[in-house]
Amino acid sequence: MSETTSKPTAPQRMSLGRRETIAGYLFLLPNLLGFVIFTALAVVASAAISLTSWDLLSDPEFIGLQNYIDLLTHDPLFRTVLWNTFYFTVVSVPASTVIALGLALMFNTGLRAIPLFRTMYFLPVITATVVVALVWRWFFNPDFGILNYALFRLGIDSPPNWLSTRTWAMPSVIILSVWKQVGYNMVIFLAGLQAIPTTLYEAASIDGAGRWQRFRNITLPLLTPTTFFVLIISIIGSLQVFDAVLVLTGGGPANATRTIVFHIWEEAFVFLEMGYAAAVAWMLFIMVFLVTALQWKLQKRWVHYEA
Amino acid sequence: MIENEGRIVSQQPPLQTSNRVWPVAGRILTYLIVSLGALIMIVPFLWMASTAFRGGSAFQYPPTWIPDPFSLDNFREVWTIVPFGRYLFNSLFVAVCIMIGEVLTSSLAAYAFARLRFPGRDAMFLMYLATLMIPGQVTIIPNFILMRYLGWINTYEGLIIPTAFTAFGTFLLRQYFLSIPRELEEAARVDGASYFQVWSRIIMPLASPAIATLAVFSFMGAWNSFLWPFIMVSTSEMRTLTVALRSFQTDYGTEWGLMMAGSLIAMLPMVVIFLAAQRYFVRGIATTGFGGR
């Protein structure tokens, strides 16, 4: 390197180890700066903010754990938010997982025209949620939307008023989210299916195993790692649903689709309740942590890894 | 192109037994179900296009699929009543900057984590891993307050810089770099190449598939991202496309022709990128679960 040739009179050359250390820190520096400021310090700051009452206009007021106590003891709205998020997750995750698995199994039988089909299943995945939610809002339109017209023509006299009734608003958000997520999960399942050695199936066939038995005893067990992976990322994603809710229903009607991230956004950036919103965000963090920990524990018992 | 693309999903021979065992009826049923599913996937988009290209009012009863009269008025109008060209530029500029930022910072850091020895390396790497689980909503409030303090609300800095770092990307590239044999670098080092030269001339070219995957997903993430730009932007001219569409919904909530035209324009660049770089999408998702939701 240049410093060794241009400065021959330098008292001592840096040792190799020292240069490697300096290089290591320099390479890491740009990323580490961003990581420390926008993630590590931000997490600490967020915890600190959650202990305050702060509207950004006046100085933050330290109130200890009061935000958390309020959330857990007397905040009916937060209970609604938790229930809605739970409802969304408990329906959308199994639905998108099972449908994706079914599709992947069908794709894996060697369909022709796979690239064309895959592109179609992928359109919702690559399109912004805001865009697809806007499109579905129009699609769901009770008076001029094509969906209710089609349902009407199919003989359903009064198709649901999707987005403006308490009964159908959350199912609408779920339909949109499952529709958007299926293609993504399917690709993960396909990769999992293709990793199963075909020799296993051949051996089982020779032993006289039928189609169902092969599925039950080979495919399903060997697919459990993939299934757990899909479940984990789907649940964590579902706990964070926001864009779809905002555009499709705006959290309504009457808070029927107010989910946890919607709640965080509105409390923080509409009502400027920074402390309260940060506390809700920490509750979300705890939920994500618990889900991940629980799944790791269950995984040990349920998942079969290839021998 | 079609045959070429099929490689990824069908690279391994499908279960040969099933072709023989399955009766023809089963295969027909499979095709029917898969086709029906594909139809469900694209029907909302067809409805979007049908409305976007329709002249006159979007409100027609009974609704029809074929836009009649066919017209480009919605596209012309959406371009004039809001600065749509500016929004397109904002989205493109922000997404490209975030993509470059993420690829550069995480590939440099990944090289340090994968190859260089220095005190504190493993502890720092563990810290990176530990934060992967933290939902973005936890950090969004302090980051917003920081941006406000710095005066970066309604600026490109504010839109780009806080999101131009990725712990996940760093982790992925580190794993990929570890799989590259060391011999090449060692030879280069003996020949006097600096660490930076090793990174730029040896590691980066060899890791191009992983780099391309990261680039494609960080572009998609930035192009489609909503919450951060939504809270960072309050002036019309700084909106990205997703924020602009949301504002459009608030301001012109019943102008469905215009909204669908805007939506179509907003999704097209991603479709083009997907068709061009399909294998990186599929590989990224299949191997790492990249780009969750």
Span B205-231, average pLDDT: 93
Q: What per-residue string of b and e applies to B177-188 under the rule 16 or more CB within 10 Å gives b?
A: beebeeeebeee
Instruction: Supply the pLDDT for residue A114.
Output: 75
Nearest to B137 among A38, A108, A240 (CB): A240
Residue B246 has pLDDT above 90, yes or no: yes
Span B236-240, average pLDDT: 94
Q: Which two tokens stand for residue B47?
A: 């409805």
For residue A61, list its beta bridge partners.
A53
Express each pLDDT in B264-290 by its tens digit. Answer: 999 999 999 999 988 888 888 877 666
| Confidence bin at A283 (pLDDT 50/70/90) | very high
- For chain A, the average pLDDT equals 88
Beta strands, E only, chain A: 52-53, 61-62
Span B142-160, average pLDDT: 95
Using CA atoms, how far apart are residues A16 and A5, in angstroms rounded to an integer?
16
DSSP A66-123: HHHHHHHHS-HHHHHHHHHHHHHHHHHHHHHHHHHHHHHHHHTTT-TTHHHHHHHHHH
Express each pLDDT in B16-55 by its tens digit. Answer: 444 555 578 888 888 899 999 999 999 999 999 999 998 8
Express each pLDDT in A89-108 by its tens digit. Answer: 999 999 999 999 999 998 88
Residue B91 has pLDDT above 70, yes or no: yes
Q: Which of residues 77-136 of B touch A (CB under 8 A)?
A: 104-106, 108-109, 111-113, 116-119, 121, 124, 127-128, 131, 133-136
Instruction: Supply the pLDDT for residue B289.
Output: 63
B44 contacts: CB under 8 Å, gap ≥ 6:
A132, A135, A136, A139, A179
Whether residues A146 and B260 touch (CB distance < 8 A) is answered with: no
Closest alpha carbon within chain A to B103: A31
Q: Please report the domains of chain A, with CATH numbers, ordered by start residue.
A: 2-49 (no CATH), 66-302 (1.10.3720.10)
B57 contacts: CB under 8 Å, gap ≥ 6:
B257
Nearest to A134 among B35, B104, B263 (CB): B263
Q: How many CB atoms lie within 10 A of CB B173?
A: 27
Instruction: Supply the pLDDT for residue A157.
Output: 81
Span A141-151, average pLDDT: 85
Are the C-beta atoms of residues B263 and A135 closer than 8 Å to each other?
A: yes
Q: Which of residues 211-250 of B touch A (CB under 8 A)?
A: 220, 223-224, 226-227, 231, 241-242, 245-246, 249
Q: Please report the domains of chain B, with CATH numbers, ordered by start residue.
A: 2-76 (no CATH), 78-288 (1.10.3720.10)
Span A14-27, average pLDDT: 87
Q: Report the complex ipTM.
A: 0.88
Residue type, B70: F
| Confidence bin at B192 (pLDDT 50/70/90) | confident
Nearest to A187 among B111, B119, B286 (CB): B286
Express each pLDDT in A160-208 by its tens digit. Answer: 888 989 999 999 999 999 999 999 999 899 888 988 888 888 888 888 8
Whether residues B143 and A187 touch (CB distance < 8 A) is answered with: no
Span A225-251, average pLDDT: 91
The pTM score is 0.88
